[in-house]
Amino acid sequence: MKKLCVLLLAVCVAGVGCGKKASEKITEKILEKSMEKDGIKTDVKISKGRTTITTTDKDGAKVDIESSGDQVTIKSQDGTTAFTTGSSAKLPDTFPKDVYVHDGATVATTVTTPEGCQVSLNTKDSAKAVTAAYKAKMAANGWKEDSAFSTDEQTVVAYTKGNRSTTVIVMLADGSTQITLMAMTEKE
């Protein structure tokens, strides 16, 4: 009887392990077949919380997508776009040094593209204080305010400096002030 219980336990453990692997394979095939219907050759790999997808369209354009935890990276002929959220989010190395980042704010999400960056921040400071700080600091860093728009819920201010633009959005949400910074460089 003891041997039968051990054998059954071994089969159950193996089944659980195989079940996860089988579910990953099924998901891979479903994704590949759904893209194939649109004429896109797709290779999907899912393993241990990491997903890698490589697509090639009918013209041969290739896109690589990698997702792991709080990060997604997309690489194509147009460049690399990366999205990070949660505890992994930090100010990107490519974020312009002359764009003010509110003192004491925490980074919630980042998006980097070949054209620039978008960063979302959270702070306990009031929206009014945050907006005033951006207006002062951006001007001090040589940015020209091009337009501003305010409602009771949010303020949007657009700045330019040479061939670069930055939009600052300040709004109240979930008991804190959220700041979104979009810093872009126009291609010459």
- 33: containing domain: 20-68
Q: Where are the alpha helices (DSSP H) in 85-186?
A: 127-140
Q: Report residue 64 CA to chain centroid gap.
A: 15
CATH assignment of the domain containing 100: 3.30.310
CA distances from 15 to 9, 18, 23, 105 (A): 10, 5, 12, 47
Point out which residues pair with 75 in neighbouring strands: 64, 80
Instruction: Single out the residue in 9, 43, 68 at which a domain terminates.
Output: 68
Local confidence pLDDT in tens for the 188 residues of the chain = 332 222 222 223 333 344 457 777 887 888 788 888 888 888 888 888 889 889 998 888 999 999 988 999 999 999 999 999 988 899 999 999 999 999 999 999 999 999 999 999 999 999 999 999 999 999 999 999 999 999 988 999 999 999 999 999 999 988 899 999 999 998 76
Q: Could you tell me if 37 and 82 lie in one domain?
A: no
Whether 80 maps to a domain, the answer reads yes
Tell me, what's the pLDDT at 185? 92
Whether 130 maps to a domain, the answer reads yes
Whether 129 maps to a domain, the answer reads yes
Q: Could you tell me if 106 and 166 lie in one domain?
A: yes
Contact criterion met (CB below 8 Å) for 102 and 179: yes
